[in-house]
Amino acid sequence: MEKIRVGILGASGYTGADAVRLLARHPQVEIAALTANSHAGKPLAEVFPHLSMLKLPDLVTWEEVNWSKLDAVFCGLPHGTTQEITAKVLASNPAIKVIDMSADFRLRDMDTYAEWYGGTHRAPDLQAEAVYGLTEHYRDKIAGARLIACPGCYPTATLLSLVPLVKAGLVDASEIIVDAKSGVSGAGRGLKQNTLFCEAGEGISPYSIGKHRHAPEIEQEIGAAAGAGEPIAVNFTPHLIPMSRGELCTSYLRLANGATPDDLRAALEAAYRDEPFMLVAKKGVMPQTQNVRGSNYAQFGVFDDRIKGRAIVVSVIDNLVKGSAGQAVQNMNVAFGLEETSGLLQLPMFP
Amino acid sequence: MEKIRVGILGASGYTGADAVRLLARHPQVEIAALTANSHAGKPLAEVFPHLSMLKLPDLVTWEEVNWSKLDAVFCGLPHGTTQEITAKVLASNPAIKVIDMSADFRLRDMDTYAEWYGGTHRAPDLQAEAVYGLTEHYRDKIAGARLIACPGCYPTATLLSLVPLVKAGLVDASEIIVDAKSGVSGAGRGLKQNTLFCEAGEGISPYSIGKHRHAPEIEQEIGAAAGAGEPIAVNFTPHLIPMSRGELCTSYLRLANGATPDDLRAALEAAYRDEPFMLVAKKGVMPQTQNVRGSNYAQFGVFDDRIKGRAIVVSVIDNLVKGSAGQAVQNMNVAFGLEETSGLLQLPMFP
Amino acid sequence: MEKIRVGILGASGYTGADAVRLLARHPQVEIAALTANSHAGKPLAEVFPHLSMLKLPDLVTWEEVNWSKLDAVFCGLPHGTTQEITAKVLASNPAIKVIDMSADFRLRDMDTYAEWYGGTHRAPDLQAEAVYGLTEHYRDKIAGARLIACPGCYPTATLLSLVPLVKAGLVDASEIIVDAKSGVSGAGRGLKQNTLFCEAGEGISPYSIGKHRHAPEIEQEIGAAAGAGEPIAVNFTPHLIPMSRGELCTSYLRLANGATPDDLRAALEAAYRDEPFMLVAKKGVMPQTQNVRGSNYAQFGVFDDRIKGRAIVVSVIDNLVKGSAGQAVQNMNVAFGLEETSGLLQLPMFP
Amino acid sequence: MEKIRVGILGASGYTGADAVRLLARHPQVEIAALTANSHAGKPLAEVFPHLSMLKLPDLVTWEEVNWSKLDAVFCGLPHGTTQEITAKVLASNPAIKVIDMSADFRLRDMDTYAEWYGGTHRAPDLQAEAVYGLTEHYRDKIAGARLIACPGCYPTATLLSLVPLVKAGLVDASEIIVDAKSGVSGAGRGLKQNTLFCEAGEGISPYSIGKHRHAPEIEQEIGAAAGAGEPIAVNFTPHLIPMSRGELCTSYLRLANGATPDDLRAALEAAYRDEPFMLVAKKGVMPQTQNVRGSNYAQFGVFDDRIKGRAIVVSVIDNLVKGSAGQAVQNMNVAFGLEETSGLLQLPMFP
């Protein structure tokens, strides 16, 4: 079989680097183009020396890409930009599949998009076409999709653990509290004071309480899972943790319809029995980000709450893999009809 | 004025070391005895080389201490042991003041103690005499106390932020959810696999969900603040964070009696207006453990929840200072009628 | 082709875990036995939850292993033990290949072994047979070997950078200074105070100055490379760094025979031109452990010294991969005639 | 006694913050002015929330400072700027004492300055007047000085351990090799990619090999100590370590005049017997940065080298305290005739 020729847009960010890490060893893929407009003309090894052993095309601007040579494009660009590029590319090369790791096509409601991303959506038609790329829950749609909007890292960790429970009516969707903790790579490679080693190290800080852009995305999908027809307000409170990779969400839930924590665990086990990357911890076992570092796996645990009628659900992922580049590759596999785990079976790295 | 002669029992643990760090520079204190039964005979510098510049008595066993030479004793011993030692010491030297940093005298209910600490309390009479040492809320009782049970680190961080709100009836005490995050020093200096650098580093893990011994302590005080006459079940979910010091508690609260998040902030400001160590962050400012590292300060923030009728309260402390040795020194200051801030004005160290 | 059936002895240590991580995804290998005497009877997932997704045989004691079912054994046991086990296994199953990751067969001189490891070697005949497993420099011997003594992590990082230079006579072998820095995983998973998070974090400390057991191993090979017939004294000064993985050695060298730093770089490039895992950085580019994390690659850099007639060589590896389990797998590949890179092409993980 | 009114220029950097931390609790000091041109008009608490409990003047531009109200000025400005400001200030307010923490007045030779700092010195007359502020070795000159050039952090760590040995002729000054390791705060609070958490964390990298600006400063003082009349070339090789604070220098030395490592230790003990901040470790004890974190102490250790005729000296400091703000305060104390330890006796913070 001929290899899938992929381009990676925004290859100088952490998500781009992890996409290269995975795709360069994917047996059915050839990396045919890499873009990073601020580093165009350089080899990737200059911006990511840990990839210096690879033979790769040099970085170019996205305007220089010959799209007709590509079968798939991974977008790791800042939000806003992606809409424009995607529209241009698909207009002239309708057979390309776009796997978007940005936030540009995640929100189905145009008003919500405008409210949270500071402006009108520039490709509403494509938004209507886009499939939300939470692989385990949108697999059928992804299989036929041309434009896949990969979820944010937090929504991935949250929704994978909660969607089966909400769908089954085991928890009260109107009062979900998600206390989220993320490693610093989630903030990207841009220069910001709060992600300096001396600022983020040896300390923990909440941020964007009640205002994080992943909240409306979670609310959209919780609403859909609940069959509500519209988003449902969710408490989403993220914290910055002194580690590079990993994300842990602790969700505080009110049980519904007489469900018990054991019922919740059973529901997750049933939902994910045949899933290659979904791991439900046995009763009493604590998920931790160390268990999934560098890998595409997610792990879940369910615990009793000391307050009656409530339960606690914990979920962990690697934010750059299952939370971004890994899920993107998984979606590519689905979209091209490949083995879904292809190129994604690296085991977690511990310590 | 003559100096207060103090003994520190259990000086080879992190809490003991921080008590030495503070007391050695306290202008009204002389460190007259240091115990560490497994290191008896050694200078403290051998177990804590960062204190090698101090002229201190060598470590002895607690059996070797001449109690008649002491005015106050700081206990940093494992639970259980403290009860026995305190009973013996106070029987023969009733004028000594015991400032206990262990868990031995924190729980007023003997059955609760037995349930959580695996056995019958060995000094119930002293328990009845002991004062709970949450300084800002038990100051009057501490002033006349002979036995002060300093709170656990998590209860300190939690209760300082919640007690004023519960007392004022601004939140529903029956549904408090506390998501807590602690640095690794909270687990002590004992050798455990989960506190090795390679296990705790670059990752986050919850632990003891629903089963942490600080839960009944929090419940006791929330119950008291609510005027309930008995403990109230609280969700307390701790996580281990890859940092040495610091503790952050994010509390998810249902508002009561029409209160708003702004009312909560105002209540904290009112409660702590004249307190030297209590810092209430302005609206929109995020507390972070970096702001209090190494110091006796606590910082609080109040935030809107996206779910109506709820609020989020964040509190931070240094678990070894305000959460242990610092609060103990503060209590000593109160008990001996000294300036409450004496020896405790070191500023937070950042970065 | 039938798969190679391997057993991993000492699978509950970090080196054992990384051997599993690599071998479980090796296309020509089947993990047929795992031992950990203190955890016998448990699934590996209980001691390494990050490997819970694998279908693996449960842990057994090494006495329970059916050696006749194995083609190769990876030893990650404490020193001393390995000699005995290897002798027994090879006596009854002479066709097995033993790939030893311990220190038991690294030192060719029995007196040196006795001096540094506190006792007489218990399998001197096997020592005579053992091949030193520095793959790039002993490949021919490894190809036919039955017992391969994989180098220590520090010797690997040091010798890979220095052996070509010493062999070429470009540096004075009698005055080599190696300042080494290692992540904490190099100290293993055993419970030691100095590897607790709070002790090793936020600080750096030298250790075992002039007395580290990797010094005689380095000296043996430097002596051999220099054609000296005997070991040559080397300054080897290790430091513990607050990171889990990675090792960086900075070597301070006196140039010989009129060589320049550029000559040294050229010599490394020539030596490693066709090597798949050896990366020589361009002039001016700094190697860093971040560039090889989690991978079997090594990177080298050569720099001018401000003191005339001297040069500085920097080398980096991942201590658990190229410094242990990865090199062991590489040696297995060589010994069994497989593609040398098989199962080892995972790219470095950054960040 | 009236308090010394100090101004801190460049209070928004890490060095400035640590100067505030120390000076705000100094019993004989009043902080009368704080400048940070890019943050003028803000309270310091906005740029350093860990100092929010202090009552301090708001940040102003340096042009707004009323110099006539100040007795002393601490400069933590970028190099170059300091020369201009110092010249202006001293011209109009000749009684002010300037304690410079920048690099502007450290190099006595104007050509060396121009070579390393990229331009002609703008205040050569003041340079001639400036005293090098390595307190323990220039105390007499500092006592009468009006302009004190505090050493760089690396020179402080290096020179404190080496100057007594070079002066005593115990080591060969022409072949000193200094392998230095620093926490990330040494790089300042500016936004640079290599000091992001994800770049500097979980890894170690050398930088500026042979080209670091602290090299000529070390060489100047080693030359002076050797009585050479001119700088002596020194190997100075710095590495970036994943910690915020702390600096460890491992110096590799050739012994001279028949000296032994024990002689070196004895020389350091003799030189520093009466020094309050200089700690010489006993034979066999390893200095580590954890021992001095947050404090003005320095610790030294001397070790045998496996190569005959050589020795190893290790020194540690906190780069922001003894390596910058602490030493500056110490110099202020000397210059104003105060107790030298005033305001500087905070003990190291561990863990």
Residue D305 has what pLDDT?
98
Residue from A198, A204, A320, A324 to probe the interface with D (highest D Cβ count within 10 Å): A198
Q: How far B193 CA lies from chain C's nearest CA (Å)?
A: 6
Look at residue A281 in the predicted model and tell me its pLDDT: 98
Confidence at residue A80, expressed as pLDDT on a 0 to 100 scale: 84
Contact C198 B242 (CB under 8 A): no
Chain B residues within 8 A of A215 when measuring between CB atoms: 306
Mean pLDDT to the nearest integer, A221-248: 97
Question: How far C234 CA sits from the closest chain B CA (Å)?
Answer: 30
DSSP A151-196: PPHHHHHHHHHHHHHHHTT-B-GGG-EEEEEE-GGGG-SS--GGGB
- Cβ of D205 within 8 Å of Cβ of C239? The answer is no
Cβ-defined contact of B291 to D49 (cutoff 8 Å): yes
Peptide bond into D57 cis (omega under 30): no
The helix (run of H) or strand (run of E) holding residue B295 is none
H/E segment holding residue B236:
strand B235-240
Partners of residue B243 in chain C, C-beta under 8 Å: 201
A243 contacts D201? CB cut-off 8 A: yes
From chain C, which residues contact A within 8 Å (Cβ)? 14, 17, 21, 24-25, 48-54, 185, 201-202, 244-245, 279, 285, 288, 290-294, 297, 320, 345-351
User: What local confidence, expressed as pLDDT, does residue A350 receive?
Assistant: 98
The reply to whether residue D21 touches residue B349, judged by beta carbons under 8 angstroms, is yes
3-state DSSP percent of chain A in helix, strand and coil, to 5:
40, 20, 40
Measured between beta carbons, the chain A residues lying within 8 angstroms of C51 are 347-348
Q: Do C206 and D305 touch (CB under 8 A)?
A: no
Using alpha carbons only, give the angle D324, D329, D335 rounded to the nearest 5 degrees: 125
pLDDT score recorded for residue D78: 85
Nearest residue on chain B to A311, judged by CA atoms? B235
Q: Which residues of chain A are within 8 Å of residue C348 when distances are taken between CB atoms? A: 21, 50-51
* pLDDT tens digits, one per residue of D12-61: 999 999 999 999 999 999 999 999 999 999 999 999 999 999 999 999 99
Q: Which residues of A are identified as catalytic?
A: 153
Neighbouring chains of D at 3+ CB pairs under 8 Å are: A, B, C
Q: In this structure, are strands A177-182 and A247-254 parallel, antiparallel, or unpaired?
A: antiparallel
Interface size between A and C, measured as CB pairs under 8 A? 76
Distance from CA of C53 to the nearest CA of D (A): 26
Inter-chain residue contact D191 with A192, CB threshold 8 Å = yes
Among C19, C328, C320, smallest CA distance to C149 is for C328
Residues C201, B184: C-beta atoms closer than 8 Å: yes
Contact B346 D25 (CB under 8 A): yes
DSSP-assigned letter for residue B231: -
pLDDT at B129: 97
Separation CA B188–CA B192 (nearest Å):
9
B to D CB pairs, distance under 8 Å: 76
For chain D, domains (ranges, CATH) are 4-129 (3.40.50.720), 154-319 (3.30.360.10)
Q: With a cut of 70, which residues of chain B have pLDDT below it?
A: none
What is the reported pLDDT for C79?
Answer: 83
Which residues have CB under 8 Å from B91's CB, separation 6+? none
Backbone conformation region of residue A209, classed left if phi is above 0, alpha if psi is from -120 to 50, else beta: beta
Structural contact between residues D261 and D307, judged by C-beta atoms closer than 8 angstroms: no
Q: Are strands B278-280 and B235-240 parallel, antiparallel or unpaired?
A: unpaired
* End-to-end Cα separation, chain D, in angstroms: 37
Nearest beta carbon to residue D14 from set B21, B25, B351: B351
Q: Which residues of D touch A193 (CB under 8 A)?
A: 189, 191
pLDDT per position as a tens digit, D325-351 = 999 999 999 999 999 999 999 999 999
* CB < 8 Å to D288, chain B: 49
* Cα of B242 vs its chain's centroid, Å: 20
Q: Which residue has the tokens 């203190």?
A: C38
Contacts of A177 in chain B (CB under 8 A): 177, 252, 307
The minimum CA-CA distance between D21 and chain B, rounded to whole Å, is 6
Q: Is the pLDDT of residue A181 over 90?
A: yes
**What pLDDT is stored for residue C135 in this prediction?**
98
Give pLDDT, residue A121: 96
Q: How far is D267 from chain A (nearest CA, A)?
A: 37
C197/B192 touch (CB, cutoff 8 Å), yes or no: no
- D17–B350: do the CB atoms touch at under 8 Å? yes
Rounded Cα distance, C205 and C180, in Å: 11
Mean pLDDT, residues A263-275: 98
Which of B14, B193, B202 is the closest to C244 by Cβ? B202
CA dihedral C89, C92, C96, C97 (to 10 degrees): 50
Q: What is the per-residue pLDDT for D113?
A: 97
D198/A184 touch (CB, cutoff 8 Å), yes or no: yes
Report pLDDT digits (tens) over C154-213.
999 999 999 999 999 999 999 999 999 999 999 999 999 999 999 999 999 999 999 999
How many angstroms away from the CA of B174 is the closest CA of chain D? 34
Q: Cβ contacts (< 8 Å) between C292 and chain A: which residues?
A: 50
Q: Which residue of chain D comes nearest to A191, CA vs CA? A: D191
Give chain D's residues under pLDDT 70: none
Distance from CA of C98 to the nearest CA of B (A): 28
Q: Which residue of A has its CA nearest to B173?
A: A307
Of D17, D48, D297, the CB nearest to B53: D297
> Looking at the partner chain, which of A184, A192, A198 has a beta carbon nearest the beta carbon of D14?
A198
Is residue A196 scored above 90 in pLDDT? Answer: yes
Mean pLDDT calculated for residue range A180-190:
97
Question: Among residues A262, A254, A248, which one has the least CA distance to residue A323?
Answer: A248
Catalytic one among D75, D153, D198, D249? Answer: D153
Q: Indicate if the pLDDT at residue A246 is higher than 80.
A: yes
Annotated catalytic residues of C are: 153
Q: Do B195 and C192 touch (CB under 8 A)?
A: no
CB B302 within 8 A of CB B313: yes
Predicted confidence band at A78 (pLDDT cuts at 50, 70, 90)?
Answer: confident
The beta-carbon neighbor of B243 closest among A202, A210, A234 is A202
Pairwise CB contact (< 8 Å): C349 & A21: yes
CB contact under 8 A, D250 and C237: yes
Of C51, C185, C320, the CB nearest to A347: C51
Which pLDDT score, from 0 to 100, does residue A229 have? 87
- Residues from chain A that touch B215, judged by Cβ atoms under 8 A, are 306
Q: Which two tokens stand for residue A121?
A: 């959506």
pLDDT tens, position by position, for chain C (351 residues)? 799 999 999 999 999 999 999 999 999 999 999 999 999 999 999 999 999 999 999 999 999 999 999 999 999 998 888 999 999 999 999 999 999 999 999 999 999 999 999 899 999 999 999 999 999 999 999 999 999 999 999 999 999 999 999 999 999 999 999 999 999 999 999 999 999 999 999 999 999 999 999 999 999 999 999 999 899 999 999 999 999 999 999 999 999 999 999 999 999 999 999 999 999 999 999 999 999 999 999 999 999 999 999 999 999 999 999 999 999 999 999 999 999 999 999 999 999
Beta-bridge partner residues of A327: none
Query: Considering only CB atoms, which chain B residues are within 8 Å of A233?
Result: 306-308
